[in-house]
Chain A
Amino acid sequence: MTDVLNALVLFANFIFVPALTYGSQLALGALGVTMIYSVLRFSNFAQGETMAFGTVITILGTWGLQALGVNLGFLPTALLALPLGIAVTAGLLLLTDKYVYRYYRTQRSASITFVMASLGVMFIMNGLIRLILGPGDQNFTDGERFVLSASAFKEWSGLDEVLVIRTTQALTVILAIILVALLFWFLQKTKTGKAMRAYADNENLALLSGINPDRIVMITWIITAAFATTAGVLYGLDKGYKPLAYFHLLLPIFAAVIVGGIGRPIGAIAGGFIIAFSEVILTYAYKKFLAYLLPSDLAPDGLVQLLSTEYKLAISFIILVVVLLIKPTGLFKGKVI
């Protein structure tokens, strides 16, 4: 019995909790991409840099607050600075919309034109975030580090294996749930949310029924800013801020969006978790896990690892390709433009 419990704790500690956290971060980022796609109808390549930008502003705000001696007790101070990050990021995104994307909207340009424009925005923001805060890593986490620490767990359970939950992990999952709930409530229940869905489903029909497109677009950018900044800050709290890592986040985020079906919020969330869990599950070495479960003479000698971790990033794309082969528009029937 203890062995089974040990195996379960091992599984939770190394697979379930990390994948759940990472999946939440991906899901929030993917939601931003998918919102842009459904309303503005293009894949936003600047999403990774947007997340980084929001994080940069939040870090600056956090430092300011820390200098003033403000803190949140056991929670990280960055949470207080988060609204500032979201506001500034929303401002920047609205500026890019005004000076870059709006023109192509009035021209009714092809989707690819927007994608290319977002590439240009990505290049500029890529340089901008490094101009502001440099290329190095920044650690801005404070407050209590663990909700459940290794020693506390050991004392409580008396098992060999331990389960650890960090504050940032708990925070990530909780905030993600709150944000997603808010988003769905907004889309389903409020007038603006309904208008947004109508606009996303059929632009012309929505315009005919008197929906103001500029307002829809503006709100979309603000929501994107909120999701991107929150995802970026949570990721940064959990693993440290580093501009290059945010650029690399773009790839798994895109994979998540596409696997779920682009333009479908629920797909983005599912996609985020599928990518995160499959990365960990497929590259985990099950030796210890099986050693707990199997009788000792059957315990494996090798690592029992399906794929080496070198192929971790590739896994998200292998899954992507496999899903697309079976369901060409993703699991939740994504949009096609």
Chain B
Amino acid sequence: MSQRPHEIARGNYYLRVIVVFTLMAGLLALVGFMQSWSLALTIVNLCLISAVMALGVNIQWGFAGLFNVGIMGFAALGGLAVLLVAMPPVKEAWAAGGIRVIFALIIFTAAIALTLHTHKRLKGKRGHGLALSAILIVGIIISRFVLDPGVAAIEAVNPSSTGYLGGLGLPVVFAWLVGGALAAGVAWLIGKITLGLRADYLAIATLGISEILVAVMRNEDWLTRGVKNVTNLPRPVPYEIELQQAPWFIDLVARWNADSLGLLGESARASALQPLLIEGSTIFVKLCYAGLFLVVLLVIYQLAELALNSPWGRMVRAIRDNEVAADAMGKDVTGRHLQIFVLGSAVVGIAGAMLVTLDSQFTPGSYNPLRYTFLIWVMVIVGGSGNNLGAIIGGFLVWFIWVEAEPIGFWFISLLTSGMGDDNGLRKHLLDSAQYMRVIIMGSVLLLVMRFSPWGILPEQTKQFK
């Protein structure tokens, strides 16, 4: 199923890495110079998150050949973790229905455990499936019976601002770990069910399961507020407005701009300082985020590299390249696949948590497969599957294009139609439709890269870093 990538000579490869990353940095710097640094940093932050997400997909697809099209679900789980960890608990809601909910969850878990237990005991016997589904259905009915009044009570607590249980009120960075763990846990369950499936079946199954996950988050208001969204999630970094009033920050900005401000009089100085403070504070906050995200990216990258080059990583790649042979040699294919599936999903979960933290809101309605699954796949394929650096550069480049495609599309259309008069109906129609160029450009980039550099910008290096 998988072919060996075209190897590039070692020296050429390093050169290519350097050139590609320099070009990317150049593009971002270009945005900084030509548009604004604040925008450049916004893009960088999302690029960093995209890179982490692409790393997660690369771990699954690039290393192990697992065709997981359920990225959206794991990203959403990571987001859910932020809400559950960082929001303050809603005491009235807990009092109103908390016990019922916990009780219902215990019943539900017990039903699952009982099902699994029966599954082991009855395996291969007659009536096996029937018994399992009976236990499961009875369990679900009982737990719903307990749950529903509790849910109604919780959702009745001040529905326009709370109406859910809230979270634990812990620091938000801690939520990133929990996001990874939550995604990993769910991935383990899903993997147990689906990993026996072959390529396209697995793909559609994961696509479907991610839709189910998001549907649950959209509709179980007691847990997530559903489509009413949870906003104002706590931040790991200071707020701009506070910075603009903090003496140390005002001092910092003043000193930073001492040259230009020094020439002004007292009153002119104060009014000149205000816009600088606003700009400085937004940039400062974004730098803080960028620092945090960068640390996460580097740690995950390092771990992924170590794993890839360990004996375990070699085994995983051997399984990818020839599943049948690996199986014949006694390797536990499904077991390895499950490990990889859990690990990759955890990374995606962490990225999902970081994304929600950056937005400081959890909006279950915003998860759609185009943006959270297919776009991430484009990142991995364009960057170079099987190569962690490739996934990172893919994340950067594709997100960059996704954001900048709109102005580029507008420019492109005005250039194409510049021969027509200003009142030309077609030109007007096209200019009004410039925003659709975003998807067209994205598709073209994907197809061009696949055609002319089939292994991505940075192809997999099988013997690297020995």
Measuring CB to CB, which residues of chain A are less than 8 angstroms from any residue of chain B? 37, 42-43, 45, 100, 103, 107, 109-113, 115-117, 119-128, 130-131, 134, 247, 251, 254-255, 257-258, 262, 308, 310-311, 313-314, 316-318, 320-321, 324-326, 328-330, 334, 336-337
A285 to chain B, nearest CB (A): 16
Q: Is the CB of A123 within 8 A of B446?
A: yes
Contacts A/B (CB < 8 Å), 26 sampled: A107-B454, A109-B454, A116-B446, A116-B450, A120-B447, A123-B439, A123-B440, A124-B444, A125-B443, A127-B436, A127-B437, A127-B440, A128-B436, A134-B433, A251-B211, A254-B208, A255-B204, A262-B201, A311-B219, A313-B215, A314-B211, A317-B211, A320-B208, A324-B201, A324-B205, A326-B129
Residues of B within 8 A of A112 (CB): 1, 67, 199
Q: Is the CB of B444 within 8 A of A120?
A: yes
Given that A255-B208, A313-B211 are contacting pairs, would A43 and B200 also be in contact in the complex, using a CB cutoff of 8 Å? yes
Residues of A within 8 A of B430 (CB): 131
A33 vs B227: C-alpha distance when bound (angstroms): 33
Residue B329 interfacial (CB < 8 Å)? no
Residue B378 interfacial (CB < 8 Å)? yes
State which of B209, B216, B454 has its C-beta within 8 Å of the C-beta of A113.
B454
Chain B contact residue count (CB 8 A cutoff): 46
Given that A313-B215, A321-B193, A324-B205 are contacting pairs, would A247 and B370 also be in contact in the complex, using a CB cutoff of 8 Å? yes
Name the CB-closest residue of B to A330.
B201
Q: Is the CB of B199 within 8 A of A111?
A: yes
Residues of A within 8 A of B67 (CB): 112, 115
A251 vs B368: C-alpha distance when bound (angstroms): 12
Render B71-95 as a binary contact track against A, CB cut-off 8 A, 1 for contact: 0000000000000000000000000
Residue B271 interfacial (CB < 8 Å)? no
A331 to chain B, nearest CB (A): 12
State which of A122, A134, A257, A324 has its C-beta within 8 Å of the C-beta of B194.
A324
Residues of B within 8 A of A134 (CB): 433
A131 vs B432: C-alpha distance when bound (angstroms): 9
State which of B2, B129, B211, B377 has its C-beta within 8 Å of the C-beta of A119.
B377
Residues of A within 8 A of B408 (CB): none
A150 vs B451: C-alpha distance when bound (angstroms): 56
Given that A110-B3, A116-B381 are contacting pairs, would A317 and B212 also be in contact in the complex, using a CB cutoff of 8 Å? yes
Q: Is the CB of A127 within 8 A of B439?
A: yes
Name the CB-closest residue of A to B133.
A322
B193, B205, B209 pick with most chain A CB within 10 angstroms: B205
Q: Is the CB of A127 within 8 A of B199?
A: no
State which of B204, B215, B378, B438 has its C-beta within 8 Å of the C-beta of A320.
B204
Name the CB-closest residue of B to A107.
B454
Residues of B within 8 A of A255 (CB): 204, 208
A310, A313, A317, A330 pick with most chain B CB within 10 angstroms: A317
Q: Is the CB of A128 within 8 A of B219?
A: no
Q: Is the CB of B437 within 8 A of A310?
A: no
Given that A329-B201, A336-B199 are contacting pairs, would A130 and B446 also be in contact in the complex, using a CB cutoff of 8 Å? no
Q: 7 shortest A-B CB distances, which residue pairs? A: A317-B208, A123-B443, A124-B443, A127-B440, A120-B446, A120-B447, A127-B439
Name the CB-closest residue of A to B440.
A127
Q: Is the CB of B200 within 8 A of A111?
A: yes
Q: Is the CB of A325 within 8 A of B193?
A: yes
A332 to chain B, nearest CB (A): 13
Residue B198 interfacial (CB < 8 Å)? yes
Name the CB-closest residue of B to A45.
B374
Given A112-B199, A336-B199, 8 new contacts (CB under 8 A): A110-B1, A117-B446, A123-B374, A127-B443, A130-B436, A257-B204, A324-B201, A337-B200
